[in-house]
Structure 1
Amino acid sequence: MNTEPTKPAQEEEEDSRVRQIVDLGSSVVTNDHGTVHCLTIIGQIEGHGQAPSGTKTTKYEHVLPLLASIEESQEVDGLLVLLHTMGGDVEAGLAIAEMIAGMTKPTVTLVLGGGHSIGIPLAVAGKVTLMAPSASMTIHPIRMSGLMIAAPQTYHYFERLQDRITRFVAAHSHITEERFRQLMLSSGDMANDVGSIVYGEEAVAEGLMDRVGTLSDALNALYRQMEQ
């Protein structure tokens, strides 16, 4: 009995893989090491409100259920997260970071280009974290756009939200809360704002990332986790 998939079935499977890359920025590859799900987080992380037309976005309502399905899947052995993000919605980004950090499966995050703002919690959420030598991170206080009520309660909310981010980053990396706040409030790197810009080696020296590396390094780190 012939069990080989028919040509239409093969084409349908290939079309499904292409659609997954286009719609969700993710792909699944199986090799001698096992099955790896590769997820990209790019552009602006979109929250409850839609980003302006023409803006590249990562939508949290796509990523959260996808991460849950990866964690529950018996076919996927590991997750590789590729990051090139300008940041975006704070709570949406933090929600995705919590999901990645809470996974039991092997996870590796790799920052390529930039992992700015709320992208930093995402970058440190993996069990192993890498950053390309030319990649950068912008660490700054929370910024809000739109109408705000200038009341003590509003500023207290900002402060508590910023504390949540600081605690998460410190808990999932080797930087202290105090040092992260110092970088966040530094006035030496930006002409019209406070904050810090760190690059690959600097991020590792500060304890934000585990090491500098490229795609092959990230995959090797993931394979080692999958073999354990």
Structure 2
Amino acid sequence: MMNEEYAAEQPKPAEEELAKKATAVQAIQQLGAANVPQLESNIFCLNVIGQIEGHLVMPPQNKTTKYEHVIPQIVAAEQNPKVEGVVIILNTVGGDVEAGLAIAEMIATMSKPTVSIVLGGGHSIGVPIAVAADTSFIAETATMTIHPVRLTGLVIGVPQTFEYLEKMQDRVIRFVARHSNITEEKFRELMFRTGELARDIGTNVIGRDAVEYGLIDRVGGISDALGELNNKIKAKKGELLQ
């Protein structure tokens, strides 16, 4: 009698299969994947995707990276003893200058090894974020647009406004020159070049050109970036052991 009751309580194989299929379908609908990979990694992946959102909230149809979300993630990665390195993935059109510089400064001042890789595009204020890492990579087909700082919306037309813009621009130029192999003079030249961008001034730098200018360290993909990061992690462990 007890055996019969126990058998009755067990789910039938057919029911188990249906439950598994329902779970898989739900995962595909919500996440676009049949199975969510569960991996305990010593590397933290920081994504900078879409437009970098600062003090103003972007329209809901815009894909954004909010700096109030990114900054706590960087702090958590720096404090977490299980995280031994950080890889920054960039595919951004740029955005808020001060928010972008804040993210770049935090990446540059991390004690843990960092590697960045530009996939698709790392435009505008995405350039300082890309060069903030210890080593930067760019995909063969990826692009980076370098242009002057500009404001949108209502602007008070007084000399102080233009002085403020120039000072902000100098901050970007100095940061990029300090964290890459490009000179301030060359970066300014690319920033103010005319004739390349339609109805605008600036330069669109593609893949190997970014490396030749000294803006990015190497051309490569995700395996190259992770390989370099793992080498840096091993080197740091060796230094700590010594």
TM-score bracket relative to the smaller structure:
0.7 to 0.9
Q: Does 1:136 align with 2:143?
A: yes
Match of 2:48 in 1: 41
CA-CA distance at 1:28 after TM superposition: 9.2
Cα distance, 1:53 vs. partner?
1.6
Pair 1:156-2:158 in alignment: no
State the secondary structure of the residue aligned to 2:175.
helix
TM-score after normalising by structure 2: 0.81
Distance apart, 1:64 and its partner CA: 0.5
Query: How many Å separate the matches in 1 of 2:195 and 2:204?
Result: 10
Q: Percent identity between the aligned chains?
A: 55
Give the secondary structure class of the aligned counterpart of 1:37: strand
Q: Are 1:86 and 1:117, in contact at CA under 8 Å, matched by a contact in 2?
A: yes
Q: Which residue of 2 aligns with 1:220?
A: 227
Report the alpha carbon displacement of residue 129 of structure 1 after superposing the two structures with TM: 0.4
Distance 1:30 1:187 in 2: 49
* Match runs of 1:1-228 below 5 Å: 29-30=39-40, 35-228=42-235
Amino acid at match of 1:218: A
Q: Could you tell me which runs of 5 or more consecutive residues in structure 2 were left unpaired when the two chains were aligned.
A: 1-30, 32-36, 236-242
Residues paired across the two proteins, number? 201
In structure 1, stretches of 5+ residues that fail to align are 1-20, 22-26
Q: Could you say which structure has the higher helix fraction? A: 2
1:66-113 deviation per Cα after TM superposition (whole angstroms, max 9, x unaligned): 101111111101001000000000000000000000001010000000
TM-score (norm 1): 0.86
- Give the number of the structure whose residues are more often strand, by fraction: 1
CA distance in 2, matches of 1:144, 1:29: 43
Q: Show CA shifts across 1:33-92 (max 9, x none).
A: xx0111110000000110012100000001111101111111101001000000000000
